Amino acid sequence: MKLEQIYTGCLAHAAYYLESKGEVAIFDPLREIEPYLNRAAKSNAKIKYVFETHFHADFVSGHLDLAKKTGAKIVFGPTAKPGYEAITAEDNQVFKVGDYSVKVIHTPGHTMESTTYLLIDENGKEHGIISGDTLFIGDVGRPDLAQHVIAELTQEKLAGHLYDSLRNKIMPLSDDLIVYPNHGAGSACGKNMSKETTDTLGHQKLVNYALNPNLTKEEFIKEILTGLTTPPGYFPQNVLMNIKGYESFDTVMKRGTQALSPRAFDAAANETEALVLDTRDAQKFSEGFVPNSINIGIDGNFAPWVGALIPDIKQQILLVTDPGREEEVVTRLARVGYDYCIGYLEGGFDAWKNAGKELDKIERVNAEQLAEKLAKDPKARVFDVRKQSEYLSEHVENVENAPLDFINESMMIFYHLSNAPKRSLAWKDLHSLLNLKECPKFLIQLTPTISNTIFPLPILKI
């Protein structure tokens, strides 16, 4: 069977390309669709269907743009109600792609419309399942995301549906089928995913805790819900974009890749509510940056950190990037629904500096320097911004935990502790917040896992 997995590491995401007799089906495409168009063109094949396993939360799918540019039909599973033209398939419905067949298996649980697609070759032999977020390698899809969009779909209800789907629809399938999931290790859509991105269903029946045949439904629900962390705040917003529709990727790119001179960039920053996002390396950023900008390094898990740290996906954004990486940054932002980049600093930070514009710096300290500072000022507050589990495992004495992925909530607490007037806190408030005379001086402890994310607050200047 001619099936290719197209894997994007920074999102731990897998799309699939299926081709037979000049016809192509794409499963769960990312926002930028050129790789799929180019792959089909390489084989002189036509994209006939775009199959979606569910309304995704962790990324914005490219199904709408693919359908518009190729004439392909969008297919969702039963119960899906998209706000645009699409086929809502019936359970067990079969679609033909050349000599291959794609059979719809409705597997609610991760979401109510979640669907697994059974792939059948030209000889009628079942080859594998594209399982979306129903079944991962080593895990299953978390059932707590839909309740953030539809309140009555509680995590307990969905976990119960997932139990039934796995027992009644997936586990009876042949052991030699290959499982093709939507995500691998690093995705927030599960809690225990393997680094492997495919496996046989038979092996998963042996090693995947969620496929333990001895678990009762009550035991399964308890097991599946234990240890789930709070999902990133942008997840519900991405779901709604995937349900209702969105601007074309071409429009987003055109708007985001407008080159701005230092003067024009400065004017845009002052005249709009735009957030200045600097995607350079953390060390370069600390040595000099545009005042009031924040730093999330492009190398690494960029999109998930943006999603966790910038609450509003409609936030206007001005970019400072390494020269030549502007399109990459706009693309990776659009993957998770941040469509409102309004331009980038032409020539990068060097152009800003050479224009004689105001700049700021952050002092970075090592462990010995931190110890010296604390010895001189024992009342200085130190915040450890690692995950709570890391903090509880081991941390510097007398430090407070403020996990980076919930920094907005943490800053609200610290703001209140500063005896300043209570009010809602947005990103634009952070600088003024920590310049308040009443606000105690503090330090932030960074670890290698998140050291490419820096908030340019006067936190290390003591």
Say yes or no to pLDDT of 355 above 50.
yes
Give the DSSP H or E segment for 244: helix 235-244
Provide the CB-side half-sphere exposure for 185 (13 A, CA): 5
- What gap in Å lies between CA 383 and CA 130, rounded to an integer? 43
Rounded to an integer, the average pLDDT of 125-138 is 98
Say yes or no to pLDDT of 427 above 70.
no
Provide the pLDDT for residue 412: 54
pLDDT of 218-239, one tens digit each?
Answer: 999 999 999 888 888 889 999 9
Greater pLDDT, 121 or 419: 121
pLDDT of 177-188, one tens digit each?
Answer: 999 999 999 888
Provide the pLDDT for residue 428: 37
Say yes or no to pLDDT of 436 above 80.
no
Say yes or no to pLDDT of 132 above 60.
yes
Q: Rounded to the nearest 5 degrees, what angle is found at the Cα of 72, between the Cα atoms of 69 and 75?
A: 130
Residue type for position 28: D
Give the DSSP H or E segment for 295: strand 293-296
195-199, 255-259, 412-416, range with the lowest pLDDT: 412-416
- What gap in Å lies between CA 111 and CA 61, rounded to an integer? 16
Say yes or no to pLDDT of 334 above 70.
yes
The number of residues making up the chain comes to: 462
Rounded to an integer, the average pLDDT of 118-122 is 98
Say yes or no to pLDDT of 53 above 50.
yes
Give 62's DSSP letter.
Answer: S
Using pLDDT thresholds of 50, 70 and 90, give the confidence band for residue 410.
Answer: low
Say yes or no to pLDDT of 164 above 50.
yes
Question: 239-249 burial string, b = 16+ CB within 10 Å, else e?
Answer: bbbbbeebeeb
For the four alpha carbons of 312, 321, 435 and 388, in that order, the dihedral sign comes to positive
Say yes or no to pLDDT of 448 above 80.
no
Number of neighbours of residue 17 by Cβ within 10 angstroms: 21
Could you tell me the maximum CA-CA distance found in the chain, to the nearest angstrom?
Answer: 77
Say yes or no to pLDDT of 249 above 80.
yes
Q: List 294's β-bridge partners, or say none.
A: 277
Helices 249-256 and 326-334 pack at an angle, to 10 degrees, of 140
Question: 139-148 burial string, b = 16+ CB within 10 Å, else e?
Answer: bbbbbbbbbb
Q: Which of 363, 354, 111, 68 is nearest to 238 (CA)?
A: 111
List of domains in the chain: 3-238 (3.60.15.10), 247-354 (3.40.250.10), 367-454 (3.40.250)
8 Å CB contact between 162 and 140: yes
As a three-state string, the secondary structure of 296-347 is ECCCCCHHHHHHHHCCCCCCCEEEECCCCCHHHHHHHHHCCCCCCEEEEECC
Provide the pLDDT for residue 354: 97
Using pLDDT thresholds of 50, 70 and 90, give the confidence band for residue 455.
Answer: very low
Using pLDDT thresholds of 50, 70 and 90, give the confidence band for residue 367.
Answer: confident
Number of neighbours of residue 342 by Cβ within 10 angstroms: 15
Q: Residue 186: which region, alpha, beta or left (left: phi > 0; alpha: psi -120 to 50)?
A: left
pLDDT of 12-43, one tens digit each?
Answer: 999 999 999 999 999 999 999 999 999 999 99
Q: Rg (Cα) of the chain, in Å, rounded?
A: 24
Rounded to an integer, the average pLDDT of 397-419 is 66
Provide the CB-side half-sphere exposure for 131 (13 A, CA): 34
Provide the pLDDT for residue 377: 87
For the chain, what percent of residues have pLDDT higher than 90? Answer: 68
81-90, 184-193, 405-414, 419-428, range with the lowest pLDDT: 419-428
Q: What does pLDDT average to over the chain?
A: 87
Distances (CA, A) of 395 to 81, 365, 389, 416, 450: 48, 17, 10, 25, 15
